[in-house]
Amino acid sequence: MSRIGKKPVPVPAGVTATIDGQKVVAKGPKGELSFVANDEVSLKLEDNAIVVTPVDNSKDARSKWGMSRTMVSNILTGVKDGYERKLEINGVGYRAAMQGQNLQLALGFSHDVVYQPPKGVNIACPKPTEIVITGIDKQVLGQVAAEIRAYRGPEPYKGKGVKYAEERIVRKEGKKK
């Protein structure tokens, strides 16, 4: 039994959720998102909460039950509050700056890396070593953060590179004489 899947997803105040077959559409102050659930789970709107249940007791249905409930919860949270991801840049000469809507990164290459964010994602640089990514779709936000981090991931000896703000880099000891 899925412990997460058992819990109904409450629809927050200011958000309207509609279910059309396997599709959940959420509209809120930040925008509109939708999620199409797998046929192995069923969706119902009861008492201002969305209930996700497996169609049968098969392993396939039970494995998609908790994931579907979490996806519904993520779209409801996204249209109400939105999501934010912070990245930090460590290293001498490594910096970030905004160039219009694009993010310009100086990461030790012979050229600056220019990243163009997808629609619905906003990027800000409050400091030259900090990047703040905001949006309503958690999956797209995580993908953008991963793509920016992939340009120069943190290395284990000096910790130089782009890392998530909450990430802890396990440092290695250098050469010994």
**Domain CATH number, residue 10:** 3.90.930.12
Summarised one tens digit per residue, pLDDT across range 16-75 is 999 998 999 999 999 999 999 999 999 999 889 999 999 998 888 888 999 999 999 999
CA distance 177 to 174: 10
In the chain, the percentage of residues whose pLDDT exceeds 90 is 82
Domain count, the chain: 2
Q: At which of 40, 59, 80 does a domain end? A: 80
pLDDT recorded at residue 1:
64
Please say whether the beta carbons of 174 and 157 come within 8 A.
yes
DSSP β-bridge partners for residue 54: 41
The answer to whether residue 170 is domain-embedded is no
Of the candidates 124, 47, 34, 32, which has an alpha carbon nearest to the alpha carbon of residue 82?
Answer: 32
The answer to whether residue 19 is domain-embedded is yes
Q: Does residue 53 sit in the same domain as residue 100?
A: no
Q: CB count, 10 Å around CB of 142?
A: 14
Q: What is the DSSP letter of 59?
A: H
Query: The domain containing residue 48 runs over which residues?
Result: 3-80
The answer to whether residue 176 is domain-embedded is no
H or E, element range at 97: strand 95-99
Please say whether the beta carbons of 117 and 128 come within 8 A.
no
Q: What is the mean pLDDT of the chain?
A: 92
pLDDT recorded at residue 4:
85
- Measured at the CA of 59, the angle between CA 55 and CA 62, to 5 degrees, comes to 50
